[in-house]
């Protein structure tokens, strides 16, 4: 049994190696995996696959053994019962070309015949093969998984003072994970120092047959394999974030948008405008529900109007307990706020700012200009590109141009930071318009802008500075958040563990 378990581990490892994503495939289709299965090992492998590892792939399974076909299975599994040595039958099944092939079979002679049939149709598709004996087939796109080799390596680990290449390490609960970084991942081109690693760590990166030890400045590239160690639950979340498709915001913060309205602070026109902003975001961002909370209700007719927009994806709640917005945010954070939508009058409260900062809640701050009027988005370039991937994600979903303003009186512009945005822009297929200046202060630049624009800001401690200390600050975020001309989105800088 230990041989079989080690074999399954070998298959999992091989599955990771063979993934070769691009961001269009991630968005438009599932990976097509073909498996030809026969025998006891194949049966255990299939059971494991059905219950744990089907993820977001589509599986075509071919077998001559009808007992391998379960009575019920997920809808992205397709089973076919015929002799896989038949090239014409294989061609009938594979209408489109699979991304990878798996062959698990007891009989080495049958394996060679099936391999020959597959190569007539798919000469270069990666093929993972396991049989009772090593076949030694001359095929550069073939990887043989040997149960004997896996078992011998496992036995060697129990001998004292013997250094061995260990394939299975740790306690086997998922605390050590190897993650392939697809070309469309938002982790591409980020430095390890820019990634929050609470309850998990990146020990190193496998690249071009080399192992690179983790360092603050080491950046992640497409097709790198990350060696991650930590809390298994956290690592599962990290895996999903690294391998997920583009256009995910408000994930990883949450799935829902939360609009907050206060009748004590806002008049009817402001409330209706903020609702329009929230509905626009709800329509264009990848969210599940829009939750509207009304504080200090006053006007019955207005409440009825707001309630009338409720449907299966829009929920309206009225607070009759006279709770403060900070208290409500504290209650709602357990629901995982994907994006808090606030009027600039509500955002001006120091308690609200501290609560948003403490719980790392992404925030959309409404302004005089409406988001629907914006055709561009903007970020003021500083040293840290922590929020680069999220800003480009949002700009892509909202179909906004992406502008960067880089200011430095000495002309020493933020080249490394800009390179991060430039590299990510290729992943998101979002061109960047760069403006550099040695003379015009960014705040003056924002004030003089004639067109409406969505500004991105980091959600950092600068937003909660006291007025006197803030005025003397050179931090762009502090001065930017006091501008109410254009809508703004504030993004927490460390978001991987949400």
Q: Residue ranges per domain, the chain?
A: 2-156, 176-243, 256-366, 371-492
CATH number for the segment(s) 256-366: 3.40.50.2000
Are 393 and 246 contacting, i.e. CB atoms less than 8 angstroms apart? yes
CB 326 within 8 A of CB 349: yes
Could you say which DSSP state residue 365 is in? E
Does 102 score more than 90 pLDDT? yes
User: What would you measure as the largest C-alpha separation in the chain, in angstroms?
Assistant: 82
| DSSP letter (8 states) at residue 463 | G
pLDDT tens per residue across span 348-379: 999 999 999 988 899 999 999 999 999 999 99
Residue range 175-222, pLDDT digits in tens: 888 888 876 677 877 778 767 787 889 999 999 889 999 998 888 888
Q: Which CATH number fits domain 176-243: 3.30.70.1450, 3.40.50.1000, 2.60.120.650, 3.60.15.10?
A: 3.30.70.1450
- Is 169 within 8 Å of 63 (Cβ atoms)? no
Asked whether residue 266 carries a pLDDT value surpassing 50, the answer given is yes
Radius of gyration over alpha carbons of the chain, in Å?
27
Give the separation between CA 117 and CA 205, rounded to whole angstroms.
37
Pairing of strands 225-230, 176-180: antiparallel
Q: What is the pLDDT of residues 18-53, one digit of tens each?
A: 333 333 333 345 688 999 999 888 898 898 888 765
Domains 256-366 and 371-492 share a fold: yes
* Cβ atoms within 10 Å, residue 227: 18
Average pLDDT of the chain? 82
Give me the architecture of the 2-156 domain, per CATH. Answer: 3-Layer(aba) Sandwich (3.40)
Domain 371-492 architecture: 3-Layer(aba) Sandwich (3.40)
> Edge-to-edge, what's the strand order for the sheet holding 210-213?
176-180, 225-230, 200-207, 210-213
pLDDT score recorded for residue 184:
65
């Amino acid at each position: 049994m230990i041989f079989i378990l080690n074999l399954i581990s070998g298959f999992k490892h091989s599955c990771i190696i063979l993934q070769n994503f691009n961001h269009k495939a991630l968005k438009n289709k599932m990976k097509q995996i073909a498996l030809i299965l026969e025998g006891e090992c194949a049966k255990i492998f299939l059971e494991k696959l059905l219950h744990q590892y089907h993820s977001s792939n589509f599986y075509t399974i071919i077998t001559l053994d009808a007992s391998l076909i379960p009575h019920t299975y997920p809808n992205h599994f397709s089973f076919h019962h015929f002799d896989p040595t038949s090239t014409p039958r294989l061609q009938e099944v594979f209408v489109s070309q699979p991304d990878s092939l798996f062959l698990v079979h007891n009989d080495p002679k049958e394996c060679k015949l099936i391999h020959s049939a597959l190569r007539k149709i798919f000469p270069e598709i990666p093929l993972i093969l396991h049989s009772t004996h090593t076949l030694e087939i001359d095929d550069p796109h073939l990887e043989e998984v040997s149960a004997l080799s896996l078992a011998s390596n496992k036995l060697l680990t129990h001998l004292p003072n013997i250094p061995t290449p260990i394939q299975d390490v740790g306690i086997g609960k998922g605390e050590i994970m190897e993650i392939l970084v697809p070309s469309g991942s938002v982790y591409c081109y980020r430095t390890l120092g820019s990634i929050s690693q609470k309850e998990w760590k990146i020990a190193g990166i496998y690249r071009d047959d080399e192992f690179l030890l983790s360092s603050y400045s080491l950046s992640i590239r497409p097709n790198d394999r990350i060696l991650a160690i930590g809390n298994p639950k956290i690592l599962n979340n990290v895996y999903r974030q690294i391998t997920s498709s583009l256009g995910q915001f408000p994930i990883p913060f949450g799935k829902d948008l939360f609009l907050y309205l206060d009748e004590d602070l806002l008049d009817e026109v402001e409330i209706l405008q903020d609702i329009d902003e929230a509905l626009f975001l709800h329509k264009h961002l990848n969210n599940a529900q829009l939750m509207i909370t009304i504080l200090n209700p006053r006007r019955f007719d207005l409440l009825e109007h707001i309630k009338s927009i409720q449907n299966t994806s829009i929920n309206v709640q009225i607070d009759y307990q006279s709770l403060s917005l900070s208290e409500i945010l504290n209650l709602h954070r357990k629901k995982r706020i994907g994006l808090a939508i606030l009027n600039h009058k509500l955002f001006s409260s120091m308690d609200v700012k501290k609560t948003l900062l403490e719980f790392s809640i992404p925030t959309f701050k409404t302004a005089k200009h409406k988001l629907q009027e914006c055709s561009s988005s903007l970020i003021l370039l500083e040293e840290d590109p922590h929020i680069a991937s999220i800003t480009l994600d949002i700009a892509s979903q909202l179909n906004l141009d992406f502008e960067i303003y880089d200011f430095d009186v000495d002309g020493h512009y933020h080249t490394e930071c800009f390179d991060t945005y430039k590299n990510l822009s290729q992943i998101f297929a979002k061109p960047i318009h760069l403006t550099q200046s040695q003379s015009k202060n960014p705040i003056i630049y924002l004030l003089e802008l004639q067109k409406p624009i969505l500004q991105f800001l980091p959600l950092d401690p600068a937003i909660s500075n006291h007025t006197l200390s803030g005025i003397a600050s050179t931090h762009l975020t502090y001065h930017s958040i006091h501008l109410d001309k254009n809508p703004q989105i504030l993004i927490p800088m460390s978001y991987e563990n949400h």
